[in-house]
């Protein structure tokens, strides 16, 4: 390996390490805040409380799930991994960024309500997975923001990060909206 290649490799490792540290810091900070915060089950989301809030958050979470699916498809199109799709126009990259912004924006009121009304709880498996995945989503998003700014990363880094975000959205939806829509029961829990 040449000196320049060594330097690029060290920079890539440093950026990945920074992203992982940011992911861990944000996740741990949210878990700590959620654990020390005194939950207020009367907290509202857009004026909705109790079961109406759960219903609204389930609807918003389903919107987020759809946005995550669109995000994955747009990424696959950008990287030309859809064999049936034509060459992506420039607008696909912009649509991917706008869709990602909307995805995170829609999660924010849900997350704030969850944190204020329930905090981070470790009472049963569904709630543990949901609480930790919810906190991890924002840590992984922070990592993705750092990584997407770097131009010289190994080709696998962004797809793995984006895939991790998508799987996290599915886990959150599965442990919340599906639970609600399925009569407060989840297959496998």
Residue 1, pLDDT above cutoff 60: no
pLDDT at position 4: 62
What range defines the domain where residue 112 resides?
Answer: 3-181
Q: Does some domain include residue 189?
A: no
Dist. CA 73–CA 69, nearest whole Å: 6
Question: How many structural domains are present in the chain?
Answer: 1
Q: Does some domain include residue 24?
A: yes
Mean pLDDT of all residues in 172-186: 93
Q: Does some domain include residue 145?
A: yes
Dist. CA 17–CA 146, nearest whole Å: 10
Q: Does some domain include residue 38?
A: yes
Confidence band, pLDDT 50/70/90 cuts, at residue 150: confident
Q: Does some domain include residue 186?
A: no
Count Cα atoms within 13 angstroms, Cβ side, for 139.
21
Q: Does some domain include residue 187?
A: no
pLDDT at position 5: 62
Residue 3, pLDDT above cutoff 70: no
- This model's pTM is above 0.75: yes
pLDDT at position 166: 97
Q: 3-class secondary structure for the chain?
A: CCHHHHHHHHHHHHHHHHHHHHHHHHHHHHHHHHHHCCCCCCCCECCECHHHHHHHHHHHHHHHHHHHHHHHHHHHHHCCCCCCCCCCCCHHHHHHHHHHHHHHHHHHHHHHHHHHHCCCCCCCHHHHHHHHHHHHHHHHHHHHHHHHCCCCCCCCHHHHHHHHHHHHHHHHHHCCHHHHHCCCCCCCC
Residue 139, pLDDT above cutoff 80: yes
Q: Does some domain include residue 19?
A: yes
pLDDT 10s digits, 19-60: 999 999 999 999 999 999 999 988 988 888 889 999 999 999
Q: Does some domain include residue 188?
A: no
């Amino acid at each position: 390996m040449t000196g320049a290649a060594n330097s690029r490799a060290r920079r890539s490792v440093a950026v990945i390490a920074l992203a992982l540290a940011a992911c861990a810091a944000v996740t741990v900070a949210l878990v700590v805040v959620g654990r020390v915060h005194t939950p207020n089950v009367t907290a509202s989301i857009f004026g909705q409380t109790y079961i109406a809030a759960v219903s609204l958050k389930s609807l918003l979470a389903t919107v987020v799930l759809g946005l995550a699916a669109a995000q994955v498809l747009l990424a696959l199109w950008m990287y030309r991994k859809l064999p049936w799709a034509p060459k992506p126009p420039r607008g696909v990259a912009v649509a991917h960024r706008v869709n990602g912004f909307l995805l995170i924006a829609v999660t924010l009121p849900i997350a704030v309500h969850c944190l204020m009304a329930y905090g981070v709880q470790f009472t049963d498996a569904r709630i543990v997975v949901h609480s930790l995945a919810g906190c991890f989503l924002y840590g992984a998003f922070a990592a993705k923001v750092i990584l997407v700014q770097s131009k010289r990363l190994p080709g696998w880094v962004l797809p793995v990060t984006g895939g991790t975000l998508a799987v996290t959205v599915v886990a959150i939806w599965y442990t919340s909206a599906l639970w609600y829509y399925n009569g407060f029961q989840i297959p496998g829990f």
